[in-house]
Each structure stands twice: as structure tokens, then as C-alpha cells.
Amino acid sequence: MRNIRIMIIDDSIMFREFLSRALAGVPSLEVVGTFADPLKAMEQIGPLKPDVLAVDMEMPKMRGDEFLRTVLPKYPGVNAVVISALSNNVFNAMHAGAVDFVGKPGSSPGYEKEQFIEDVIEKIKIAAAASLKRPATAPIAAPSCRLDLVKAKQTSLIAIGASTGGTEAIIEVIKDFPANTPGVVIVQHMPPVFTRLYAERLDKFMAMHVREAKNGDRVERGTVLVAPGGDQQLRVRGDARGYFINLNTEPKVNSHCPSVDVMFESVAQAAGPNAVGVILTGMGADGARCLRQMRDKGAHTIGQDQESCVVYGMPKVAYDMGGVAEQLPLSAIGPAVLRRFSR
């Protein structure tokens, strides 16, 4: 099996050399070129035939998202991982077709070089095997209609879990949810601080209000709560007043914090048949076991199908374990969720 061929595009010579040295010692990885100038990198993609582009976000002459928007449509066999300091433009790069992103060392508290190298190696390997449909470039518009969600009780709840490819998949699912949709709780595997930026980005175009979850937040109609990245697990607790977010500093589960399994398990216990659970694209099995728990408690469960996944990992394991009641292409999941609460 041949090596994964990697091209590094970053305007910092120190960072290019650091990353090149780190990747050079990894079996199955091969750095075929490094470039400070994104325009020169464009000229070499054809001759060097990389499998994965490791692209900085903020560069002279052209931002990373602009670079990807230009080159990825021309090279359908090439995928990309964005490597970025803290920047909201990361999500523009995801919309342009990047498979995933990694924060640079120091981009969040305690995130140092050793963890960065481990993460970037994992994401490069995932990107090399990912199946990515290049997105449409049309802007996303907020829905103007208000659906008659007559079946939506005050005790209804929607829980969504995703990993690799999930930032765009989540948008596709929830973008048309009207303002009176039952409360939504999301776990998307993402570094700290970026989850807040992601929530703020979603809030700009959705009819529902979107924010990063805080301990004690109420899960209520018209609100989407995104679990914060970092060292806290998110659970949903229920009582006579409704549903509330509980955040606790805890170890990782399935190598993740927050973990989709932890959230789904709490929703199964708190909401039972009043919940809808959705598992989207992602590597591994996080969420699969406890989506089955949700289904066993009477919740309706939906899994993304293989053809529309960037990585058909989490949804596949959930389906194989019997946790998925309805398997659908990504474009059909949002409407299917809304049908559970409408006429």
C-alpha cells in the first residue's frame, strides 16, 4: 500500500519545517512538497499529485478557504485538512470542501505540540480515506416559514451527534428548522473555543437561536445548544420544569470530550419517547451504543447513509447495533425530523 502524499501550505517557514519533520517519521505518510506561497502551491498540485493538502488559514495573497475554493474543484481526488490558529474563517474552509481542521499549538488553553501532532496525523489519515461531495457554493438563507408543529410537545427534544464532516452536515440538517422547533442539543467533536465560533456562525442564518451551551441552560423550543469543546461532558437532565444542561469536567469517553454517547445516554433517560436522536458522519463509534439506548427507550432515531457521509463510521456502527430506526441521505434528515412534530 502506497504512502499518503501530503502537501503543506503555510507562510511560516518555522511551522513548515516543524510539521515536515514531525510527519517524516510517521510510517505511511510522505511530505511531497512545502510551500509558503499558495499561488505557487496551486501550480504544483498537478505535478506532485498529493492526496492531502495541509493548509494554513491566514496567509498572504490568499486565505486558506479561498485557496481551497479554487483548487479542490479542479482536483476531485485531493482532500484537505485546515491547520489554523483561532479563526472563524475555518468554517468557510469547511464549506469550501475541507474534510476537517486542526487548531495550531496554543490555539486553545493547554493545547500543545504533542497533542497537535497526534491530532494532525489522525486527521490526515482520515482525510486520505474520506469520501467528500464538493458542496454547493450558494449562500444559506434562514427559513421564512413557521411550520405548524402540532405534535411537538413542550417535552420534545432533538439530539444530534457528529464528528468528521459534521460541521457542514449539521448545517444541512438544521438550516431549515423554523423558530418554533423543539430544543436541539448538539455534540460535534471540535476543539475548545471553536465550538463557540461555530455556534455564533450558525446563529447568523438560522431562524432558531444558536449558542454554545452553558451549565444550567434550559433546552427550550426555538433554541439550539452546542456542547463546548474541551474537558467537559454534556448531559441533559429532566425534571418537572423541563430539560436542562449539565456540564461536568470528566475523562474522555470513546476518546472524546464531549462524547456523543454521554449525551445520547442522558437524553434516553431524560426524554425517552419524546426525543429524536440523529447520528451523522464521523470516524469511530461514538454515539452508536447510546443511540440504541435512545431507541430502546422509545425515541425515534435517524442515521446518515453511507453515500452522503464524509466518513461512514459512527452511523454505520449505530446501524449495525440496531440503533438506527431510519437511515437516510443527509438532505432528507432535516425534513424527516420535522415530520415527527408536524401534521
Beta-carbon count within 10 A of 285 CB = 17
Alpha-helical regions (H) of the chain = 13-24, 38-48, 64-71, 90-96, 113-129, 166-174, 194-203, 260-271, 288-296, 314-320, 330-339
Catalytic residue among 189, 256, 259, 300: 189
Intra-chain end-to-end CA distance of the chain, in Å? 53
148: its cell numbers: 405548524
Do the beta carbons of residue 326 and residue 295 sit within 8 Å? Answer: no
* Antiparallel, parallel or unpaired: β 157-162 and 184-188: parallel
Q: Are 149 and 338 in contact (CB under 8 A)?
A: yes
Cα Rg of the chain, angstroms: 20
Q: What CA–CA distance (Å, rounded) separates 45 from 47?
A: 6
198 closest CA partner among 143, 189, 207, 80: 189
SS3 184: strand
Q: Count Cα atoms within 13 angstroms, Cβ side, for 304.
A: 31
Is-catalytic flag, 156? no
User: Which of these is catalytic: 107, 156, 163, 259?
Assistant: 163
189 is catalytic: yes
Which backbone phi and psi does 294 adopt, to 5 degrees?
-60, -45
Out of 10, 286, 300, 308, the active site residue is 286
Active-site annotation holds for 20: no
Torsion of CA 187, 192, 197, 198, to 10 degrees: -20
Q: Which residues are catalytic?
A: 163, 189, 286
